[in-house]
Amino acid sequence: MPNVAAIGTYLPCWGIPARRVVGDDEDAITMAVEAGRAALQSGAGVERVVLVSRNLPLLESSNAAVLLAGLGLDPELEVDERLGGAPATLDAVSSARPRTLIIGADLEPAGAAALLTAEDGLRVRTAARVARSLPVRTRNATGTVHDYGDPRLLHERGLIASLAAAWLDTPAAVAGVDHDSANDLCVGNPPRLPTTGASSSLFALAGMAEAGTTGPLVAVEQASLSGITVSHGTASVHRREPASREMPAGGYADGAQIPISLAAYERAFEAKTRWEAGKFAGSDELDFPPRYRVSNDGDLATLYDLVPLPRVGTVYTETTVHMPVPGLRTPYSLVLVELDDVEVRALVKVTGAEPGSVAIGDRGRLTLRRVAVRSGVPDYSYMFEPESVTSSSGPGTGFAA
């Protein structure tokens, strides 16, 4: 088994501390990118990516290209999109080779966490795995949900019976259940977890790593369970967990499908999802979006390189759209952002802030979001998150151990 080098976590800013919700511009992939980038800020290498979720935006087609682009990783990397909950993420850790980025992402409650394996770091080893069937809540291929409606049955014949079958020591943390249940089953003070799905086991590991807790970590989904034992060593933990705020009121004007040209989507994809500009050899100018150029004497130049753009900038001008726009939630704010240190501006939407709250001169970062769903296709690009959102993170989120 590999060791854990770094863990990154991400929570959307909307909702209440114990239950975050996503805005219209976030999904499992944008959250996975946020958590993944947090884990990768240590600078260690990645050779493959495992994404675990039960909320993958595309079940047909693939989420891999956007995920790799958002993470700034090579499009040649293997991406394993796994359907699963808290145990599946721990299973991915158990079987991972070094330099694997494992990400869990959940929508309800919302959050994502990512873990990077390495030769050194926090030592973990497989402790238990039990697959039992008690399908008290089901969702089929078309998304239809059935709930059996017996939480006592789930607790007794799911959680407790599976724990007994696993022959584990008393856990130090339990992921996949509510905090009170976890508390009853654990020694000491198990970390309070913001999610219950695929990301929850990594949130638990982050809490144990920060607190220096060792012992069994158990991840549960209905009657299935996986466990690892956390022993010595250290992993760096990077949390992107802004303080929670109530989602601003808004209206959704129904009726129109926003059209898409998939040809235009494909042409723009790399620059748009990797936040890159075109640059011709011998020129200092950046073209954003990238484009062909014609010289004064009519020569055509097409071979530009894509170069990364700065991800911080200052608002040059702004507007907030209040009128109903079919297919979009209003109000929303648009800003023209001057990127730091380059002669490039970008017209983007605002994320993570009350519409109308961003002013000329405000500073912030550009981050991957789902800009729109166009005729069934999630359309990803970058949005401006004002500094006030990121600076609200740290103690007080209720989840740091």
Partner 1 sequence: MRNVAIVGAGMTPFGEHFALGLKDLLPMAFADCAASVDKGIDKHDLQAAWFGAMATTDGFPSGNLADTLGLPELPVTRVENSCATGNDAVRNALFGVASGAFDIALVMGADKLRDTTSKDMLWEWEAMARDMAWDYPLGVVSPAGFALHVSRYLHESPATREHMAMVAVKNHHHGINNPKARLRFEITVEQALAAPTVVTPFGLYDCAPQSDGAAALVIAAEDVVDRFTDRPVWIRGVGLGLDSVMHQHKRDLTTFPATIRAAKQAFTMAGMTPRDVDVAEVHDFFTGIELISYEDLGFAERFGAYKLIEAEVTSVGGSLPVNPSGGLKAKGHPPGATGVAQCVELFQQLRGEAVNQVDGARIALAHNIGGPTAVSAVTILEGPGANGS
Give the footprint of partner 1 on this chain (CB under 8 A).
253, 255-256, 258-261, 264-265, 267-268, 272, 288-289, 316-323, 325-328, 332, 334, 336, 344-349, 356, 360, 371-372, 374, 379, 381
Q: Which is nearer to partner 1, 189 or 375 (CB)?
A: 375
Backbone angles phi, psi at 20, to 5 degrees: -85, 150
Q: Which is nearer to partner 1, 3 or 269 (CB)?
A: 269
In whole angstroms, the minimum distance from the beta carbon of 358 to partner 1 comes to: 11
Sign of the dihedral defined by the CA atoms of residues 79, 57, 25, 89, in that order: negative
Q: Which is nearer to partner 1, 190 or 278 (CB)?
A: 278
Cβ atoms 283, 307 nearer than 8 A: no
Note the Cα 122 to chain centre separation in Å. 22
Q: Which is nearer to partner 1, 19 or 345 (CB)?
A: 345
Letter for the amino acid at 377? V
In whole angstroms, the minimum distance from the beta carbon of 43 to partner 1 comes to: 31
Hey, which residues does 251 pair with through a beta bridge? 330
Sign of the dihedral defined by the CA atoms of residues 71, 77, 80, 81, in that order: positive
In whole angstroms, the minimum distance from the beta carbon of 381 to partner 1 comes to: 7
Structure tokens that stand for 399 in this block? 């989840």
Q: Which is nearer to partner 1, 181 or 269 (CB)?
A: 269
* DSSP codes joined into one string, 130-173: E-----SEEE-TT--EEE---HHHIIIIIIIHHHHHHTPPPPSE
What is the distance between the alpha carbons of residues 325 and 329, in angstroms, rounded to a whole number? 7
Cβ atoms 7, 102 nearer than 8 A: no
Q: Which is nearer to partner 1, 180 or 266 (CB)?
A: 266
In whole angstroms, the minimum distance from the beta carbon of 29 to partner 1 comes to: 16
In whole angstroms, the minimum distance from the beta carbon of 389 to partner 1 comes to: 19
In whole angstroms, the minimum distance from the beta carbon of 143 to partner 1 comes to: 24
